[in-house]
């Protein structure tokens, strides 16, 4: 968003005129790639398996993706990324299903869905809730696919002009956004990002080839793998948390009800879906908790707009339609910073960087020109994935319900097994598996001390890039920090960062920040 | 979700110097991380601003982390806050233990043994686990994952002890 603002009006007008033809051409090219028999199959498989794992209560997209990463190893990069994207959407969608049917959010973004979704399910309207979630997500998916395709070229062109100073300032701005949008204490969020940056320095220093912070342990000479860190601090910690909480997991008994919402329900949901999509798309671009903020903001907005706000929390369909659309829109637009700038905005995208690196792809502005089939194929497959989710999920809801009835005492050992196999397969070594256990303990400690694991992962992935760019920038400027202020674009990012810090410390702003993250009641 | 220690309900006056044990623990944790980071990077040269050495970032960031730790500790003496959270032992011991077990046994013994063992060991994290049920379940899901990962997806994961492979 910020980046879009710096583009200038003339750029935008020119873009609208000449590039709409390009856009359709590129999308058609992408469709060509994505619609090949093999890629279509991989997209389908990814969505299906992603939903299957995502439906498991308490398993968010980060853990799901890490667990399923190895099944893409035998594929070519295009197919692998299409499948991974499918797994991601599947996991997102599966999380909503669990939120509606069991009242347990698979992850933070579906917390809001539990409020009215579960109430609808208890009233025998589970089908309508799941149906409107699917339809809203589909609409949001379509819109955000077009947004991604439209923003891709101008943002990439801008990113190609970036020097190290611009990159460094942008990353700092991004990390600050992540702090401001994080839940809980600002100070703890900053501290934990720094711990992530510190972790990123472990291993061989690329410039001097000296080993850093390895304590003589040669197994970490290449640094920690992002998948190991993510699996430990997200996957393992999620299991430990679930084992502790004594939530009753009441799967909704009885009728699911008709799957398609009736005409009245559709009419009630149209506005929330459109508004949720717009909110989610914009917030999804923001680093940190942007994608998480979407559903919360949408719920609050719909409640404010409603004639009778007391219906919310008692099974109002708008309370499912809006947040679910925002959720899906944000999940998709979060790809924009990753694909164009090479900067992952949140934990899931941080993991995507790891996945892409494993397949030999360096995320960043070069992808679009050097591997257009990969870029446009993936974007087109996002839209196809949304169609698939609609087709897969509605008929298979009965299956998901049966799946949800498996008791947790059997579910978590299964999850442990899948995690172990997944981590082992990354490097075919057992060392990574017990390293994961170590990070599991670390993540558990973080939670007990009141730190969120998401900023840690973000700091870890961006830390490496940040150090590289900082060192390059300082070499170019012969050690002068003024370089970050002398270059106009970099200076813009620095000023924005300062404004953000000042705004975040204003009492009024802090109050409203706390309000947004209050679980709406 | 948040399990709070029983001490949380005590009136502030009775807590003594530490007003927010939760912040104190978080601060000490950060200081520990900082010391570890600083120790690990101790020998690395800092370089100069125009030629940043390998030690600049690790040591600089570790120092910042430590600073945040100190501020948190100081805050814990000034402002009242929540008590410590209770740590469970059963979940961490068996779940983390099962990862370690899998990591140690997978290469020598193969997935057939390592997988079954890991599943059974992990299941002990839940007091409600049922012996017969979990043994059967462990064997079934291990067998399914062997077929799926080794034979359908072709991952190079050892299945039988000491590299033996009848197929």
pLDDT tens-digit map of A490-500 = 999 999 989 88
**pLDDT per residue over A41-70, tens digit each?**
999 999 998 888 888 876 778 888 888 888
Please tell me the predicted confidence (pLDDT) of residue A1.
45
Of A191, A432, A433, the CB nearest to B30: A191
Tell me the per-residue pLDDT of A107-134, one tens digit each, with 9 for 90 and over. Answer: 667 778 888 888 888 888 888 898 899 8
Residue A1 sits at the chain B interface (C-beta within 8 Å) = no
pLDDT digits (tens, 9 = 90+) for A171-207: 998 888 888 777 677 888 899 999 999 999 998 887 7
| Number of CB atoms found within 10 A of residue A214's CB | 16
Q: 3-state SS string over B8-27?
A: HHCCHHHHCCCCCHHHHHHH
Lowest-pLDDT range of A288-302, A444-458, B125-139: A288-302
Please tell me if residue A71 touches chain B, with a CB cutoff of 8 Å: yes
Give tens-digit pLDDT for A479-491: 888 888 888 889 9
For chain A, the first-to-last Cα distance in angstroms comes to 30
Higher pLDDT, B43 or B75: B75
CB neighbours of residue A221 within 10 Å: 12
Backbone angles phi, psi at A214, to 5 degrees: -95, -15
Tokens of A298: 């949408």
Q: How far is CA A427 from CA A73, A81, A151, A224, B122, in A?
A: 11, 19, 36, 12, 23
Under the banding of pLDDT at 50, 70 and 90, the label for residue A16 is low
Chain A, nearest residue to B5 by Cα: A448
- Does residue A245 belong to the interface with chain B, where contact is any CB pair within 8 Å? yes
Record: contact B103-A431, CB cut-off 8 A: yes
Contact B153 A71 (CB under 8 A): yes
pLDDT of residue B7: 44
| Interchain contact, A420 vs B118, CB within 8 Å | yes
**Does residue A2 register a pLDDT over 60?**
no
How does residue B117 score in pLDDT terms, banded at 50, 70 and 90?
very high
Percentage, residues of chain B above pLDDT 70:
90
Contact by Cβ (8 Å): A333, A148:
yes
Q: Is the pLDDT reported for residue A353 higher than 50?
A: yes
Handedness of CA A179, A184, A185, A189 (dihedral sign): negative
Give per-residue pLDDT as tens, A213-232: 888 787 888 888 888 998 89
Neighboring chain B residues of A408 at a CB cutoff of 8 Å: 126
Q: Within the 179-198 window of chain A, which residues sit less than 8 Å (CB to CB) from chain B?
A: 187-188, 190-191, 194-195, 197-198
**Does residue A103 surpass a pLDDT of 80?**
no
Residue of A nearest to B91 (CA): A240
pLDDT tens digits for range A468-478: 899 999 988 88
Question: Using a CB-CB distance cutoff of 8 angstroms, which residues of chain B are in contact with residue A480?
Answer: 49
Asked which of A96-105, A229-238, A422-431, A503-512 is least confident by mean pLDDT, the reply is: A503-512
* ipTM for this model: 0.89
Contact list, A213 vs chain B (CB under 8 Å): 37, 40-41, 58
Tell me the three state secondary structure of residue B88: coil
* Contact residues, A window 370-399, toward B, CB-based 8 Å cutoff: none
Q: Which residues of B touch A245 (CB under 8 A)?
A: 1
Cross-chain Cβ contact A440/B95 below 8 Å? yes
Q: Give the chain B residue whose CA is nearest to the CA of A467.
A: B57
Q: What tens digit of pLDDT does each residue of A455-472 get?
A: 898 899 888 889 989 999
Query: Which of the 8 DSSP states describes residue A218?
Result: G
Q: Is the pLDDT of residue A71 over 90?
A: no
Cβ atoms of residues B145 and B111 within 8 Å = yes
pLDDT at A305 over 90: no
pLDDT at A348 over 90: no
Q: Could you say which of B49, B95, B102 has the minimum Cβ distance to residue A239?
A: B95
* The predicted structure's pLDDT at residue B26: 92
Helix (H/G/I), strand (E/B), else coil: B54: coil
Give the distance from residue B50's alpha carbon to the nearest chain A alpha carbon, in angstroms: 4
Q: Cβ–Cβ of A195/B30 closer than 8 Å?
A: yes
Q: How confident is the model at residue A406 (pLDDT cuts 50, 70, 90)?
A: confident
Predicted confidence (pLDDT) at residue B9 exceeds the cutoff of 50: no
Chain A residues lying within 8 Å of B156, measured CB to CB: 428
Is B125 in contact with A71 (Cβ distance < 8 A)? no
Residue A101 class from Cβ within 10 Å (0-12 exposed, 13-18 middle, 19+ buried)?
A: buried
Q: Which among B62, B155, B157 is the nearest to A198, CB-wise?
A: B62
What was the pLDDT predicted at A421?
92
Confidence of residue A516 (pLDDT cuts 50, 70, 90): low
A374-402: per-residue pLDDT in tens? 889 888 888 888 888 888 877 888 788 88
Per residue in A129-149, pLDDT (tens digit) is: 988 998 999 999 999 988 988
Q: Which residue of A has its CA nearest to B83?
A: A449
**pLDDT for residue A520:** 47
Pick from A454, A167, A354, A200: nearest CA to B57: A200
Residue of B nearest to A430 (CA): B103
Q: Which of A448, A416, A434 is nearest to A66 (CA)?
A: A416
Residue B96 pLDDT? 96
């Amino acid at each position: 968003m910020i980046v879009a603002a710096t583009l200038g009006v003339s750029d935008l007008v020119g873009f609208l005129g000449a590039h709409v033809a390009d856009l359709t051409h590129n999308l058609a090219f992408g469709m060509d790639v994505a619609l090949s028999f093999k890629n279509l199959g991989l997209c389908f498989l990814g969505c299906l398996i992603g939903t299957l794992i995502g439906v498991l209560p308490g398993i968010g997209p980060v853990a799901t993706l890490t667990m399923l990463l190895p099944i893409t190893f035998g594929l070519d990069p295009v197919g692998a990324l299409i499948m991974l994207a499918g797994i991601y959407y599947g996991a997102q969608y599966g999380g909503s299903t669990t939120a509606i049917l069991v009242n347990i959010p698979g992850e933070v973004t579906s917390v809001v869905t539990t409020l009215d979704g579960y109430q609808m399910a208890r009233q025998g309207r589970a089908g309508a809730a799941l149906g409107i979630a699917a339809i809203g997500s589909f609409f949001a998916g379509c819109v955000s696919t077009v947004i991604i395709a439209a923003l891709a070229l101008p943002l990439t062109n801008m990113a190609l002009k970036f020097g190290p100073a611009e990159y460094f300032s942008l990353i700092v701005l991004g990390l600050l956004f992540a702090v401001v949008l994080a839940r809980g204490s600002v100070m703890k969020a900053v501290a934990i990002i720094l711990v992530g940056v510190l972790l990123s320095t472990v291993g061989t220093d690329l410039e001097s080839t000296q080993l850093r912070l390895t304590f003589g342990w040669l197994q970490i000479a290449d640094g920690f793998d992002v998948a190991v860190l993510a699996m430990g601090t997200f996957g393992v910690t999620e299991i430990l948390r679930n084992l502790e909480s004594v939530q009753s997991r009441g799967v909704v008994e009885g009728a699911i009800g008709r799957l398609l919402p009736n005409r009245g329900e559709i009419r009630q949901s149209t506005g929330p879906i459109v508004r949720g999509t717009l909110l989610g798309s914009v917030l999804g671009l923001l680093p940190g908790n942007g994608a998480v903020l979407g559903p919360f903001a949408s719920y609050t907005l719909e409640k404010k707009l409603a004639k009778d706000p007391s219906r919310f929390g008692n099974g109002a369909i708008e309370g499912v339609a809006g947040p679910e659309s925002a959720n899906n829109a944000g999940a998709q637009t979060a790809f924009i910073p990753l694909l164009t700038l090479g900067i992952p905005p949140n934990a899931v995208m941080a993991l995507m960087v790891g996945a892409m690196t494993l397949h030999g792809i360096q995320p960043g502005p070069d992808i679009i020109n050097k591997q257009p089939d990969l870029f446009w194929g993936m974007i087109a497959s996002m839209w196809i994935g949304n169609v698939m989710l609609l087709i897969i999920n509605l008929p298979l809801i009965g299956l998901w319900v049966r799946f949800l009835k498996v008791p947790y005492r059997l579910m978590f050992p299964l999850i442990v097994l899948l995690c172990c196999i997944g981590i082992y397969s990354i490097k075919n070594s057992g060392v990574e598996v017990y390293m994961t256990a170590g990070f599991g303990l670390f993540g558990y400690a973080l939670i007990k001390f009141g730190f969120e694991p998401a900023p840690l992962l973000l700091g870890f992935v961006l830390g490496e890039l940040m150090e590289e760019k900082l060192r390059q920038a300082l070499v170019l400027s012969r050690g002068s920090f003024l370089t970050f202020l002398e270059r106009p674009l970099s200076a813009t990012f620095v000023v924005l960062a300062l404004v953000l810090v000042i705004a975040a410390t204003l009492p009024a702003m802090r109050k409203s920040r706390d309000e947004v993250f209050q679980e709406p009641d | 979700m948040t399990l709070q220690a029983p001490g949380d309900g005590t009136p502030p006056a009775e807590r003594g110097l530490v007003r927010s044990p939760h912040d104190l623990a978080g601060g000490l944790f950060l200081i520990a991380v900082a010391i570890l980071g600083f120790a690990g990077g101790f020998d690395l040269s800092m370089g100069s601003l125009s030629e940043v050495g390998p030690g600049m970032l690790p040591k600089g960031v570790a120092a910042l982390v430590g600073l945040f730790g100190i501020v948190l500790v100081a805050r814990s003496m000034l402002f009242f806050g929540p008590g410590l959270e209770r740590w469970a032992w059963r979940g961490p011991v068996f779940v983390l233990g099962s990862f370690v077990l899998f990591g140690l046994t997978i290469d020598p013994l193969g997935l057939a043994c390592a997988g079954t063992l890991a599943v059974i060991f992990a299941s002990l994290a839940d007091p409600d686990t049922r012996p017969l049920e979990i043994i059967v379940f462990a064997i079934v899901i291990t067998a399914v994952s062997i077929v799926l990962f080794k034979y359908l997806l072709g991952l190079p994961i050892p299945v039988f002890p000491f590299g033996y492979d009848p197929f």
